[in-house]
Amino acid sequence: MTVTDVATRTYNHNFRLDPIVRSLLDTDFYKLLMLQMIWRRHPDVTATFSLINRTRSVRLAEIVDEGELRAQLDHARSLRFTKKELIWLSGNSFYGKARMFAPDFIGWLSTFRLPGYELRKADGQYELVFEGPWACTTMWEVPALAIVNELKSRAAMRDRGRFALDILYARAKSKLWEKVARLQALPDLAISDFGTRRRHGFLWQRWCVEALKEGLGDRFIGTSNVLLAMDADLEAIGTNAHELPMVAAALAPDDAALVDAPYRVLEEWRQHYNGNLLIVLPDAFGTKAFLAGAPDWVADWTGFRPDSAPPVAGGEQIIRWWRQKGRDPREKLLIFSDAMDVDSIEETYRHFHGRVRMSFGWGTNLTNDFQGCDPDGGAGLDPISLVCKVTSAGGRPAVKLSDNPAKATGDPAEIERYRRLFGVPAYQARAVRV
Amino acid sequence: MTVTDVATRTYNHNFRLDPIVRSLLDTDFYKLLMLQMIWRRHPDVTATFSLINRTRSVRLAEIVDEGELRAQLDHARSLRFTKKELIWLSGNSFYGKARMFAPDFIGWLSTFRLPGYELRKADGQYELVFEGPWACTTMWEVPALAIVNELKSRAAMRDRGRFALDILYARAKSKLWEKVARLQALPDLAISDFGTRRRHGFLWQRWCVEALKEGLGDRFIGTSNVLLAMDADLEAIGTNAHELPMVAAALAPDDAALVDAPYRVLEEWRQHYNGNLLIVLPDAFGTKAFLAGAPDWVADWTGFRPDSAPPVAGGEQIIRWWRQKGRDPREKLLIFSDAMDVDSIEETYRHFHGRVRMSFGWGTNLTNDFQGCDPDGGAGLDPISLVCKVTSAGGRPAVKLSDNPAKATGDPAEIERYRRLFGVPAYQARAVRV
């Protein structure tokens, strides 16, 4: 006898929306760490975040329906932190530390909602812009990216039959498990999920996280996704992002203050956080310039996250600098997180094993690798290089140079000015796939 | 909000048994065709069927729990043909013919139940024997095999976690779909599912059948499984089996009658069935002897199913014979069904394409290929060569020689006698994997 739950079936018929983001915790942990500092120290700073699709060949506005996009963004704006979520943020330990988030900050979060957005189409792309207080707009980065990426996935799968989808996910599961099996061969691996923003979809990210937990055990050290960390009792992973030095630099009154901005940001950070949260992200305006000008105390920090240099070269550059500063790299941590996949993880792991502590943040190639999985072929599920960057702060343009010239963002004249101050890129441009 | 159907959940808690065989139609179509003839012509013949595990290294009695096996067999004995099933058997066309099953036979089926069984353990194996009227015991072959094979699968998966099973089936689906993609390259392919008896499980067989339907369209000509044919509106495929000549030979009063038995069986068959059901299964006592002694009218039949010779050699042997008889092989049909998989299907297809009509019956390697799929490794899901053969009829031993000496079954002295009458095997023994 077939038993059908008629109530559920009827309810399912009436779905108006299948929401992509259903919790304000469905974001990266570093956003919350940064948010607390921004809220405490820069409550009056305004910052504009903008969606940027670096994969211009994918004309998103012709793929993703505007009405659906607005409905998803509007739904995200309707979200509030729930009591359970705030209690967990207050009561949980992060990076071994209790009470990471101050009671007054938690109190402010209880009233938080995502601010408004401006959306229009231009040249086949969406212009999606978030303007307002930095402490509000910063929180759009991850949900905006997750929404656009999942709507793109849904569009690619819209005409697929039930069976094609079955094969699609069977292949994707098999593919990820082959990667897990290869990673099992690296005994001292420490790896975390950094794939929220570029994920194929929320449920798929959750499956990927479960796969790593199952397959890698303690070598899977956690996820950047706060909601998944809470639900699966995993460590929430993340420290800080380029927006901190970018905003500080944009606000700098003169060139001297601009050149000093990356270090001022670290000064602020260490007044809020310590231990394994003292991770330097050195590449906002080029790692070479950053290291050349860095005060001695920066070498006391726990580690670096080289995020746009080639991993081996970038890691060696930092190790050399630690040695120059008289520090033992074996006591230091390197976090690799730029477009990593199993090949580059293996290569980097083997190159540095025993010479430095390492961990890996695995993003797009963990949560959105469907290449070769679609039985109907096509590239509709290929990930794109979509980012949501701070583009101005306090009304002044924000710039990122990065170690990969192909990743530079900002007004061209400002980029030129920053290059005069920080020097030309030390690395060749590398194609940005994701 | 999570909605749980409490009634269903509670009911699920109370499962005493997850029945493997849930319908008497969950059998191979040829059993019903043969059954009608047996019931009509040989109602008084008794025949004993016995389970034989040719993969002796797998000690089934140490893997499959006897209580579970008895519970499953007992459940199968509780089944009756339902009204819907009998109406469908009466009203459906099979092989293009309406009213394949006579009303009095359908009437008898409405009272049919599987007869008793004898089960005991010996030397790590199960001795499972069905004794009684041939028209009853013959119907145990397929459900007995499906039950034992699925219990073996379940035992192999008993300790697997939810996640390992997810990976297992994802891999198996991906693997089958790679096979389907290869078969899509064969434009004139005609292939059917013959995998009921050796299936991993019923639900998996159903998925495989759906995969072939989805992936091969009209080139997937149907399934031997009557229940799946009914439920999925597919053609039921199958003709006759070795038990017909084996029983006829066992009952033969003298050597002359024994040598003539394979042809007498065909005589009977053509009085019941015609068209594409006139398929010769020539290898019960060796194809060479069969062809040498066959009357001319056998060459008028639609085709042959070479079932134990190597496919290319076996097909060529039959094509030569047709030519000797002045028949055009291009108007004839060869059905290949012995341990076929994509490699041998491709090879056979390419070898004979344009020279003879062909179809393939794809069995164990369709519905039970999990090699390389278990993330925990091990060989517990490897298929075994399990058969359920007629071992005596009318109290006299039944023998099968086959074209593969490794597949001979029966009393050794009787095998010797048969070999004196039919000649030595024309082919070398080939390992029987499935």
Tokens of B294: 């066959």
pLDDT grade for A424, boundaries at 50, 70 and 90? confident
Give the best residue of A160, A177, A373, A376 to mutate against chain B (max B CB count within 10 A).
A177
Question: What mean pLDDT comes out for the span A140-154?
Answer: 98
What pLDDT is stored for residue A431 in this prediction?
85
Query: From the CB of residue B343, how many other CB atoms can be counted at a distance below 10 Å?
Result: 11
For residues A191 and A358, give the distance between their C-alpha atoms in angstroms, rounded to a whole number: 9
Q: A171–B167: do the CB atoms touch at under 8 Å?
A: no
Instruction: Give the neighbor-by-neighbor strand order of the sheet with A386-393.
Output: A118-122, A125-130, A47-53, A386-393, A396-397
For residue A341, what are the contacts with CB-CB under 8 A and spacing of at least 6?
Answer: A179, A362, A365, A369
Q: A177–B167: do the CB atoms touch at under 8 Å?
A: yes
For residues A355 and B426, give the distance between their C-alpha atoms in angstroms, rounded to a whole number: 67
Pairing of strands B333-336, B303-304: parallel
Return the residue matching tokens 């069986």.
B265
Give the best residue of A166, A178, A207, A213 to mutate against chain B (max B CB count within 10 A).
A166
Contacts of B375 in chain A (CB under 8 A): 177, 181
Q: B11–A5: do the CB atoms touch at under 8 Å?
A: no
Q: A167–B174: do the CB atoms touch at under 8 Å?
A: yes
Backbone torsions φ then ψ of B333, nearest 5 degrees: -120, 135
What pLDDT is stored for residue B380 in this prediction?
95
- pLDDT by residue (tens digit) across A334-362? 999 999 999 999 999 999 999 999 999 99
Whether B133 and B45 have beta carbons less than 8 Å apart is answered as yes
3-class secondary-structure state, position A87 = helix
Contacts of B177 in chain A (CB under 8 A): 167, 170-171, 375
Q: B170–A173: do the CB atoms touch at under 8 Å?
A: yes
Closest-CA distance, A167 to chain B, in angstroms, reads 6
Contacts of B210 in chain A (CB under 8 A): 163
Q: Nearest 5 degrees, angle CA A153-CA A214-CA A356? A: 95
What pLDDT is stored for residue B1 in this prediction?
60
Q: B174–A177: do the CB atoms touch at under 8 Å?
A: no
Give the best residue of A1, A11, A174, A210 to mutate against chain B (max B CB count within 10 A).
A174
Of B161, B211, B375, the CB nearest to A177: B375
Low-confidence ranges of chain B (pLDDT < 70): 1-2
pLDDT grade for A13, boundaries at 50, 70 and 90? confident
3-class secondary-structure state, position A430 = coil
Q: Regarding predicted confidence, which is higher, A273 or B159?
A: A273
Closest-CA distance, A138 to chain B, in angstroms, reads 29
For residues B284 and B79, give the distance between their C-alpha atoms in angstroms, rounded to a whole number: 32
Nearest to B36 by CA among B240, B296, B301, B256: B240
Contacts of A161 in chain B (CB under 8 A): 214
Whether A48 and A390 have beta carbons less than 8 Å apart is answered as yes
Q: Is the pLDDT of residue A4 over 90?
A: no
Would you say the C-alpha torsion B86, B89, B92, B97 has a positive or negative sign? Answer: negative
What pLDDT is stored for residue A43 in this prediction?
97
pLDDT grade for A1, boundaries at 50, 70 and 90? low
Return the DSSP state at A424. S
Query: From the CB of residue B383, how many other CB atoms can be counted at a distance below 10 Å?
Result: 25
Of A8, A163, A173, the CB nearest to B167: A173
Whether A216 and A189 have beta carbons less than 8 Å apart is answered as yes
For residues A39 and A32, give the distance between their C-alpha atoms in angstroms, rounded to a whole number: 10
For residue B332, what are the contacts with CB-CB under 8 A and spacing of at least 6?
Answer: B302, B303, B304, B319, B322, B356, B357
Q: Is the pLDDT of residue A434 over 80?
A: no
Of B164, B177, B210, the CB nearest to A375: B177
Q: B171–A177: do the CB atoms touch at under 8 Å?
A: yes
Tokens of A398: 């924000």
Backbone torsions φ then ψ of A149, nearest 5 degrees: -65, -40
Q: B174–A169: do the CB atoms touch at under 8 Å?
A: no
Contacts of A163 in chain B (CB under 8 A): 210-211, 214
Whether B406 and B431 have beta carbons less than 8 Å apart is answered as yes
Nearest to B387 by CA among B195, B186, B211, B141: B141
Q: A170–B174: do the CB atoms touch at under 8 Å?
A: yes
Whether B308 and B271 have beta carbons less than 8 Å apart is answered as no
The 3-state secondary structure of chain B, one letter per residue:
CCCCCHHHHHHHHCCCCCCCCCCCCCCEHHHHHHHHHHHHHCCCCEEEEEEEECCCCCCHHHHCCHHHHHHHHHHHHCCCCCHHHHHHHHHCCECCECCCCCHHHHHHHCCCCCCCCEEEEECCEEEEEECCEHHHHHHHHHHHHHHHHHHHHHHHHCCCCHHHHHHHHHHHHHHHHHHHHHHCCCCCCCEEECCCCCCCCHHHHHHHHHHHHHHHHHHEEEECEHHHHHHHCCCECCCCCCHHHHHHHHHCCCHHHHHHHHHHHHHHHHHHCCHHHCEECCCCCCHHHHHHHCCHHHHHCCEECCCCCCHHHHHHHHHHHHHHCCCCHHHCEEEECCCCCHHHHHHHHHHHCCCCEEEEEECHHHHCCCCCCCCCCCCCCCCCCEEEEEEEECCEECCECCCCHHHCECCHHHHHHHHHHHCCCCCCCCCCCC
For residues A315 and B241, give the distance between their C-alpha atoms in angstroms, rounded to a whole number: 69
What pLDDT is stored for residue B227 in this prediction?
98
Does residue A345 come out as left (phi exceeding 0), alpha (psi in the -120 to 50 range) or beta? Answer: alpha
Of A8, A166, A181, the CB nearest to B173: A166
Return the residue matching tokens 């998103």.
A60
Return the residue matching tokens 């090879």.
B347
For residues A38 and A44, give the distance between their C-alpha atoms in angstroms, rounded to a whole number: 9
The full DSSP string for A103-170 is HHHHHHHTT------EEEEETTEEEEEE-SBHHHHGGGHHHHHHHHHHHHHHHHHTT--HHHHHHHHH
Closest residue, chain A, to B210 (C-alpha): A163
3-class secondary-structure state, position A30 = helix
For residues A285 and A242, give the distance between their C-alpha atoms in angstroms, rounded to a whole number: 9
Give the best residue of A10, A15, A167 to mutate against chain B (max B CB count within 10 A).
A167
Tokens of B426: 């024309």
What pLDDT is stored for residue B4 in this prediction?
76
For residue A121, what are the contacts with CB-CB under 8 A and spacing of at least 6?
Answer: A61, A66, A127
Of A164, A167, A214, the CB nearest to B163: A214
Contacts of A210 in chain B (CB under 8 A): 163
Nearest to A154 by CA among A171, A142, A168: A168
Give the best residue of B173, B216, B370, B373 to mutate against chain A (max A CB count within 10 A).
B173
* pTM (two decimals): 0.91
Nearest to A239 by CA among A249, A224, A229: A224
Pairing of strands A333-336, A357-362: parallel
For residues B403 and B405, give the distance between their C-alpha atoms in angstroms, rounded to a whole number: 6
Contacts of A173 in chain B (CB under 8 A): 166-167, 170-171
Pairing of strands B396-397, B386-393: antiparallel
Average pLDDT, chain A: 96
pLDDT grade for A429, boundaries at 50, 70 and 90? confident
- pLDDT by residue (tens digit) across A91-117? 999 999 999 999 999 999 999 999 999
Q: B170–A167: do the CB atoms touch at under 8 Å?
A: no
Closest residue, chain B, to A214 (C-alpha): B163
Tokens of B360: 């393939």
Rounded to 10 deg, the angle between the A162-183 and B162-183 helix axes is 120
Whether B229 and B223 have beta carbons less than 8 Å apart is answered as yes
Contacts of B11 in chain A (CB under 8 A): 3
Return the DSSP state at A380. T
How many CB pairs below 8 Å do chains A and B form together? 53
As beta bridge partners, residue B50 has B129, B389
pLDDT grade for A132, boundaries at 50, 70 and 90? very high
Question: What mean pLDDT comes out for the span A250-270?
Answer: 97
Question: What mean pLDDT comes out for the span A37-46?
Answer: 98
Contacts of A167 in chain B (CB under 8 A): 173-174, 177, 211
For residue B6, what are the contacts with CB-CB under 8 A and spacing of at least 6?
Answer: none
3-class secondary-structure state, position A377 = coil
User: For chain B, which residues lie within 8 Å of any Cβ of chain A, measuring from their own Cβ?
Assistant: 3, 5, 7-8, 11, 161, 163-164, 166-167, 169-171, 173-174, 177, 181, 210-211, 214, 375
Q: B171–A169: do the CB atoms touch at under 8 Å?
A: no
For residues B226 and B236, give the distance between their C-alpha atoms in angstroms, rounded to a whole number: 6
Whether B367 and B204 have beta carbons less than 8 Å apart is answered as yes
Whether B399 and B414 have beta carbons less than 8 Å apart is answered as yes
Whether A342 and A319 have beta carbons less than 8 Å apart is answered as no
Closest residue, chain A, to B169 (C-alpha): A170
Closest residue, chain B, to A166 (C-alpha): B173
Question: What mean pLDDT comes out for the span A306-334?
Answer: 97
Does residue B282 come out as left (phi exceeding 0), alpha (psi in the -120 to 50 range) or beta? Answer: alpha
For residues A298 and A327, give the distance between their C-alpha atoms in angstroms, rounded to a whole number: 11
Whether A273 and A33 have beta carbons less than 8 Å apart is answered as yes
pLDDT grade for A8, boundaries at 50, 70 and 90? confident
For residues B225 and B31, give the distance between their C-alpha atoms in angstroms, rounded to a whole number: 10
